[in-house]
Structure 1
Amino acid sequence: MIETDRPSWLSLTRGDAPLLVSLPHTGTDTPAEYEQGLVSSWLARKDADWWIERLYDFAASLGATVIRTSVSRTVIDVNRDPSGVSLYPGQATTELCPTTTFDGEPLYHPGAEPDHASIEERRNRFFEPYHATLRAEVDRLRSAHPAVVVYDCHSIRSVIPRLFEGTLPHFNIGTNGGTTCDGALSEEVERICTTSEFSHVVNGRFKGGYITRNLGQPENGVHAVQMELACRGYMREPLGPVAEGQWPAAYDETYAAPMRDQLVRILKACLTFAKSKA
Structure 2
Amino acid sequence: MTEFEGEFSPPFEIAEPAVWRAPIIFNSPHSGSVYPHAFLNASRIDLEALQRSEDSFMDELILHLLHQGFPVARVHFPRSYIDVNREPYELDPRMFHGRLPSFANTRSMRVAGGLGTIPRVVGDGQEIYRERIPIDEALGRIETLYKPYHRALRQLVNRAHQTYGAVILVDCHSMPSVGIARDEPRRPDIVIGDRYGTSCAALISGVVEETMAARGYSVGRNKPYAGGFITEHYGNPASGLHTVQVELNRAIYMDERLRQRSDRFGVVAEDFSVLAEALAAIPLADLGPFQAAAE
Q: TM-score range by the shorter chain?
A: 0.7 to 0.9
2:261 to 243, 248, 251: 251
Offset at 1:75?
1.0
Distance, in Å, in 2 between the alignment partners of 1:59 and 1:225 is 17
Distance, in Å, in 2 between the alignment partners of 1:90 and 1:118 is 18
- Counterparts of 1:1-278 in structure 2 under 5 Å? 8-15=10-17, 16=20, 17-39=22-44, 40-84=46-90, 92=113, 94-109=115-130, 111-112=131-132, 114-162=133-181, 165-237=184-256, 246-248=257-259, 250-252=260-262, 254-273=263-282, 275-277=284-286
Distance 1:74 1:35, change over 3 A: same
The answer to whether the 8 Å contact 1:10/1:130 transfers is yes
Offset at 1:274?
5.7
Offset at 1:163?
9.6
Residue segments in structure 1 that go unaligned for 5+ positions in a row:
1-6, 238-245
Percent identical residues: 25
Distance, in Å, in 2 between the alignment partners of 1:142 and 1:8 is 26
Offset at 1:232?
0.8
More deviation in 63-72 or 26-35? 26-35
The answer to whether the 8 Å contact 2:193/2:225 transfers is yes
Distance, in Å, in 1 between the alignment partners of 2:149 and 2:243 is 16
Distance 1:105 1:196, change over 3 A: same
Distance, in Å, in 1 between the alignment partners of 2:144 and 2:111 is 30
1:171-229 Cα shifts (integer Å, max 9, x gaps): 01000011111111111111123323221101111011111110011111111011111
Q: Kindly report the root-mean-square deviation, in angstroms, between the aligned alpha carbons of the 2 structures.
A: 2.4
1:73-101 Cα shifts (integer Å, max 9, x gaps): 11100011224268767995622111211
The answer to whether the 8 Å contact 1:147/1:274 transfers is no
Offset at 1:247?
3.4
TM-score of the two chains, using structure 2 as the length reference:
0.80
The answer to whether the 8 Å contact 1:92/1:163 transfers is no
The answer to whether the 8 Å contact 2:110/2:116 transfers is no
1:8-59 Cα shifts (integer Å, max 9, x gaps): 1221211333011111111111223433311222222221111112211221
* Alignment length (residue pairs): 260
Distance, in Å, in 1 between the alignment partners of 2:136 and 2:182 is 29
The answer to whether the 8 Å contact 2:62/2:72 transfers is no
| Residue type at the aligned position of 1:30 | Y
SS in 2 for 1:48: coil
| Residue type at the aligned position of 2:214 | T
Distance, in Å, in 2 between the alignment partners of 1:28 and 1:157 is 17
SS in 2 for 1:72: coil
Number of the residue aligned with 1:243: none
Distance 1:8 1:83, change over 3 A: closer
The answer to whether the 8 Å contact 1:152/1:227 transfers is yes
Distance, in Å, in 2 between the alignment partners of 1:119 and 1:49 is 22
SS in 1 for 2:63: coil
| Residue type at the aligned position of 1:273 | I
